[in-house]
Amino acid sequence: MGCECSKFALYYWTGQSGPIYEAQNPDEEKDEVSDLPAFREFTFEQLRIATSAFAVENIVSEHGEKAPNVVYKGKLENQRPVAIKRFNRSAWPDTRQFLEEARAVGQLRNNRFVNLLGCCCEGDERLLVADFIPNETLAKHLFHWDTQPMKWAMRLRVALYIAQALEFCTSAGRALYHVTGKGLALYHDLNAYRILFDEDGDPRLSCFALMKNSRDGKSYSTNLASPEYLRMGIITQESVIFSFGTLLLDLLSGKHIPPSHALDLIKDRNLEMLTDSCLEGQFSTDDGTELVRIASICLQYEPERPDFKSLVAALYPLQKEAEVPSHVLMGISRDGETMSLSPLGEACLKTDLTAIHEILDTLGYKDDDGAATELSFQMWTDQMLETLNSKKKGDAAFKNKDFRAAIECYTKFIEVGTMVSPTVYAHRSLSYLMSDMPQEALNDAVQAQVISPVWHITSYLQAASLFTLGRENEALVALREAAILEEEKNAAS
């Protein structure tokens, strides 16, 4: 291969004097995020409620024995969906170190990142809170795809966006170091599982791997296998660039390339052997050869590798379909574009409370596992009988549209606390809506979801309450979540 490339790319020479780099970045698209809430510290109780008591149904990823940390999907009190990482209790014994690192990472806000919104540090509990990204990981779309392989143009966009994220991480981390004197921000675990696709189909880099997760500053969960890391056991910026080189090979081949094998695979630079067969006819030999070349200089044995600013400049000329939105290339439908709603969903969208009432009244307690068993007891105390009568009176009032009486009766049933029923909370939620008490209705819908995390009715009622409160964006999020849950339920039945 020759040593020249376009004027935007990096120049290199593999002789004994080492590589030489020059770079121009023809465009800057890494604007900092301005509409995110400020980084904050959460209480453990807030995050417990957000995840429905860390329900198994809300787990979105788990790791192995070396780092048994679990990530949950959750929803904050303002209905913002979040990802909550709960660390193993031994991961962060130093409270001060955890808080300092979390606050530092929380300052690194960028459109190429899954941004860190907050943390929790109570007793032995250590948790991180980030925006929830809905469209799976790069690993899912690249290695385990269901309907179509990832297109060449999208793979190149992933390479560029992640290079931009890491370049921002480097420059912002350096600026932060000058202000605080704390260590530079290094990305500890770059791989296809750390890249997620947002509602627009754009790839984003998870913020979680910016936390060291160790007692002594080393990252024991890392997949890094750069030569210097294997020799000395420390992470440097050059190690991160080596990992980026292995990511480029993953994108090219459509397979996970073990970092330890990356150097051997790249030596021959055989484009045909390295390339995913699903990409046939999607790119020119020159573009494919250029990507292999960029990967090869990231994977050099000696740590004389390009910086991320140079890599960003090198990847720009390969973006031949930059005008095509990511969600189109990915085949992902964005919120509001193709949302298919059931009659209940349509009623919530229009806040047609009469239609919602008819549907809930017809449904009754069919989806309420807890209430179905209440008549199986052979003996009842007077208090239990009175409690059951309160529910029955509430059901009768609800059916007859006497919503004030329904609220009163259901409240007596709930306050006794001998039985838990998400349907009762759902009925009282709609009764509050009918009585022009939308905040109380929202509170009940959230409580019903805590009891029954995957019951679609709870999300529908949250949407109706939020629409009534004038919080349309949050209502649309809840409505889409309800539609997905309802679709999953119907598919399983």
Give the CATH number of the domain where residue 45 resides: 3.30.200.20
The answer for 52, left when phi > 0, alpha when psi is -120 to 50, beta otherwise, is: left
For residues 332 and 351, membership in a common domain is answered with no
Query: Rounded to whole angstroms, how far apart are CA atoms 433 and 248?
Result: 53
Is 273 domain-assigned?
yes
Same domain, 227 and 158: yes
Q: Write phi, then psi, for 434 (nearest 5 degrees).
A: -65, -25
Q: Which of 69, 98, 132 is the last residue of a domain?
A: 132
> What distance in Å separates the CA atoms of residue 153 and residue 290, rounded to the nearest whole number?
14
Amino acid identity of residue 119, one-letter, is C
* Candidates 131, 189, 198, 368; catalytic one: 189
Does 244 reside within a domain?
yes
323 and 423 together in one domain: no
What is the pLDDT at residue 85? 94
Check residue 443 and give its pLDDT: 94
Report the pLDDT value the prediction gives residue 181, as an integer from 0 to 100.
Answer: 44
In a domain, residue 465? The reply is yes
CATH number at residue 301: 1.10.510.10
Amino acid at 261: H
d(CA 203, CA 137): 9
320 and 408 part of one domain: no
Report the CATH number that the domain containing residue 448 is assigned in CATH: 1.25.40.10
Point out the domain boundary residue: 132, 153, 169.
Answer: 132
Residues 191, 290, single domain; the answer is yes
Q: Which residues, in sequence order, are CB contacts of 188 under 8 Å at separation 6+?
A: 209, 210, 211, 212, 213, 219, 221, 222, 224, 235
* Same domain for 247 and 158: yes
Same domain, 140 and 253: yes
192 and 327 inside one domain: yes
Backbone torsions φ then ψ of 82, nearest 5 degrees:
-140, 160
In a domain, residue 374? The reply is: no
Same domain, 232 and 158: yes
If asked whether residues 260 and 398 sit together in one domain, one would say no
Residue 2 lies in a domain: no
Answer yes or no: pTM beyond 0.75.
Answer: no
Last residue of a domain, one of 77, 111, 132: 132
Residues 293 and 430 in one domain: no
Which residue range(s) make up the domain with 390? 343-365+379-492
Number of structural domains, the chain? Answer: 3
* pLDDT tens by residue, the chain, 493 residues: 333 332 222 322 232 223 323 333 434 444 445 568 889 999 999 999 999 999 999 998 755 444 468 999 999 988 899 999 998 877 788 889 899 889 988 988 889 999 999 999 999 999 999 999 989 899 999 998 877 889 999 999 999 999 999 999 887 765 544 344 454 567 877 889 999 999 889 999 998 888 764 444 444 444 556 666 666 666 778 888 988 999 999 999 998 877 667 677 777 666 777 888 889 888 898 999 899 999 989 988 776 789 999 999 999 999 988 888 898 888 776 654 455 789 999 899 889 999 999 999 999 888 875 444 444 443 345 556 667 788 889 999 999 999 999 999 999 888 876 678 899 999 999 999 999 999 999 999 999 998 998 899 999 999 999 999 988 878 888 888 898 889 888 888 7
Residue 162 belongs to some domain of the structure: yes
Q: Is 486 exposed, middle or buried (0-12, 13-18, 19+ CB in 10 A)?
A: buried
Same domain, 443 and 310: no
pLDDT of the residue at 352? 93
Does the annotation mark 189 as catalytic?
Answer: yes
Q: Is residue 372 part of a domain?
A: no
